[in-house]
Amino acid sequence: MSTVALILAAGLGKRMQSTLPKVLHPILGDPALLWVLRALPAEVEAAVVVVHHGKEQVEAALVAWAAQGLLPCPTTSVDQGEPLGTGHAVVQAAAELDRLGAGRVVILCGDVPLIQAATVQRLAQSDGVLLAMDMTDPAGYGRVVQKADGTLAAIVEHKDASEPVRAIRRVNGGAYALPWGPLRAALGRLSNGNAQGEYYLTDAVVDVAGQVPVAVELCAPAELMGMNSRRDQAQLQAHARDRINGHWMDQGVTFLDPGAALVGPRVVLGMDVTVAPGARLAGRVEIGAGTLVGQGCVLTDSRVGAKAEIRPYCVIDRSEVGPGCLLGPFAHLREGSVLEQGVHVGNFVETKKTTLHAGAKANHLSYLGDTEVGSRTNIGAGLITCNYDGFSKHRTVIGQDVFVGSDCQLVAPVTLGDGCIIGAGSTITADVPAGALALTRAALVLKEDMAERLRQKQKARKAQLG
Ligand code: UD1
Ligand code: MG
């Protein structure tokens, strides 16, 4: 029997006040819908996402995530058309569920991002379950009525509920596991004769509960909290942060201020990593054991080896930093930067599509673009690789054990051979052979005592003017 996940994501999300569809708003860098899809366990063989508002954007995101290997199972989408309620959403997906040979359907919401993998796994293994939560303020939710044996008897939407029913604090969390055959039949009996004029999925769930027992399983409210506004988004992010940072603290990571570091769900931290306040790690990031991530550092889709020190305010994007590297403060590694073991990249150095081999150093004020820097080479302060001539990009290759003096420009394409020395202030426009000295410099003008004479002259002129 095939288990298929159905994720409802056609709603408009008006209260987000956004041009971005609600389910694409991020929590710690990953869109809400991606959180839901990534919580699907191995038992789920396929997922169907019901879309409508912002359909093009959501479908493009699904394609991109699949291409990056982020989705745990084959995922398709169905356009609901004008959304007429949660029941209507499932009706519109029925043909796709049939096509996938669904035996059991796990229904989740695309805007409920923090549902845990273990919870979805319990759903995927059961024949009839509704997730419920006990709320101090149940307003707005469907109220859950249970039979004497605890199984589901009824769900009454807030707007349809009488005062005694509104007093019930056990509410429907909107996540279910149901047998597809009975659910499909129940969908055919749905009507929209209710306070909201909608086709309620909840009516079909109760219909199924009349044929097979549907267990009511309690869940922590944080797991089932929906994102309907920017305030919700901030609250969900705070929950996610506490959960993730708590997990890593249990694994031996130090957070100097756990409330002030944003670590995404796809980040992996080694033992004895220290994360300073204001650090933000998003996407697929790996940090090796014993590494320090300094204050205000922003890392995206990057890998850092063990025992590296990333000093405050570095930005690292789609790059690799080897073990024992020393970075920043204020270093900027752009896409395709590779720093091998023990490289030093200091303040106000920007790199892009550049490899620095083991032990190379660029400590101050440089731009290294489309460049290879050999082992142990020292790049002086203020080196600029002129990689762009206004038409296309060119490569700079610098050998090993090279010494480049301060304030040089290397006009690419250009190669500096192993062990050469480039004098300070040079503009290098041709290849330099290994072992050579190269410098381009205007002749020095030196006039003895001239400074003092100039000062005297100036003084005399002022005196004359009175
Ligand atoms: C629903 C439940 C309610 C439960 C609550 C939990 C129904 C009738 N009610 O109410 O019992 O307490 O969730 O959060 O199901 N959606 C579509 N197409 C539609 C309508 C909705 O895809 O036509 C999607 C939304 O984008 C959202 C999800 O379904 O992701 C839930 O819809 P929402 O409007 O939030 O349902 P509620 O009224 O909150
Ligand atoms: Mg809702």
pLDDT of residue 466 exceeding 90, the answer is: no
> Which of 86, 137, 166, 207 has most ligand 1 atoms within 8 Å of its beta carbon, as the pocket-test mutant?
86
pLDDT of residue 1 exceeding 80, the answer is: no
End-to-end CA distance of the chain: 104
Cα 269 from Cα 306, distance rounded (Å): 10
pLDDT of residue 284 exceeding 80, the answer is: yes
Cα 385 from Cα 429, distance rounded (Å): 11
Tens-place pLDDT, residues 3-20: 999 999 998 889 999 999
pLDDT above 70 coverage of the chain, percent: 100
Q: Is the CB of 21 under 6 A from ligand 1?
A: no
pLDDT at res. 12: 81
pLDDT of residue 209 exceeding 80, the answer is: yes
Tens-place pLDDT, residues 363-387: 999 999 999 999 999 999 999 999 9
Tens-place pLDDT, residues 419-463: 999 999 999 999 999 999 999 989 999 999 999 999 999 999 999
Tens-place pLDDT, residues 224-258: 999 999 999 999 999 999 999 999 999 999 999 99
Q: Is the CB of 328 under 6 A from ligand 1?
A: no
Cα 103 from Cα 420, distance rounded (Å): 71
What counts of helices (H) and strands (E) characterise the chain? 10, 39
Cα 141 from Cα 194, distance rounded (Å): 15
Which H or E element spans position 60? helix 55-67
Residue whose tokens read 């009507």: 191
pLDDT at res. 11: 86
Buried b (16+ CB within 10 A) or exposed e, 188-219: eebeeebeeebbbbbbbbbbbbeeeebbbbeb
Sign, Cα dihedral of 376, 377, 382, 386: negative
What is the pLDDT of the chain when averaged over all its residues? 97
| Closest protein CA for atom 19 of ligand 1 | 85
pLDDT at res. 188: 97
Q: Residue 406: name the closest of 419, 384, 425 by CA.
A: 425
Q: Is the CB of 89 under 6 A from ligand 1?
A: yes
CA distances from 408 to 327, 405, 440 (A): 22, 7, 9
CA distances from 194 to 140, 166, 197 (A): 15, 16, 5
Cα 214 from Cα 362, distance rounded (Å): 64
> Which of 109, 196, 208 has most ligand 1 atoms within 8 Å of its beta carbon, as the pocket-test mutant?
109
Q: Which amino acid is at 150?
A: G
Q: What is the mean pLDDT of residues 189-211?
A: 97
- Cβ burial of 113 (10 Å; 0-12, 13-18, 19+) is buried
pLDDT of residue 270 exceeding 90, the answer is: yes
pLDDT at res. 458: 96
- Compute the distance from residue 308 Cα to the ligand 2 centre, in Å: 45
Mutual orientation of helices 201-209 and 86-99 as an angle, nearest 10°? 70
Tens-place pLDDT, residues 84-100: 999 999 999 999 999 99
Q: What is the mean pLDDT of residues 387-414?
A: 97
Look up 394 and say whether it is catalytic: no
Q: Is the CB of 109 under 6 A from ligand 1?
A: yes
Cα 338 from Cα 317, distance rounded (Å): 11
